[in-house]
Amino acid sequence: MNYFKELEVLLDASCAPYSGFNVASIIVLKDGRSFKGVNVESAAYSPTNCAERNAIQTAVTEGAKIGDLQEVHILARNAAKELVQAYPCGPCRQVIAEQSLNDTLIFCYASENEVKQHTIAELLPFGFLGAEL
Ligand code: THU
């Protein structure tokens, strides 16, 4: 399914007063439920939360378990208010890999019809999934 229109609306909920870079994410679970997230920035910078992890944390709060994550959809808009194709940052890739048991698709939108699709294993090869702990 294409989530561009919902992501575009969701971008306006992003709280990014310092970077001006808005990110919206919609994640889909194996049971069909979907959850939204936006980036929320902090004046202290490091407490900033990414859109993808906010969506995942909401899903977990609502009962999602490890392995339930099936799809991650992402749209971003820069400070000049142009839509830009953005890929998940390193910490988001780590959390996506763990929550999907390294088996999810990531959709990065540039527009409604330009969508790059990757597996998490492509974006985070040789991931650390915790089995070694
Ligand atoms: N950001 C995300 O929300 N997701 C990513 O995967 C990359 C970065 C946010 C964090 C920060 O608010 C802004 O984009 C600029 O880094």
Show me where the domains of the chain are located: 4-123
15-49 confidence digits (pLDDT tens): 999 999 999 999 999 999 999 999 999 999 999 99
CA distances from 67 to 22, 28, 112, 124 (A): 28, 12, 28, 16
Hey, what CATH topology would domain 4-123 get?
Answer: Cytidine Deaminase; domain 2 (3.40.140)
Burial 62-98 (b: 16+ CB within 10 A, else e): eebeeebbbbbbbbbbeeeeebeebebeeebbbbbbb
pTM check: above 0.75: yes
Distance 22 CA to ligand 1 centre (A): 7
- Residue 52 catalytic? yes
| Catalytic member of 6, 41, 52, 122 | 52
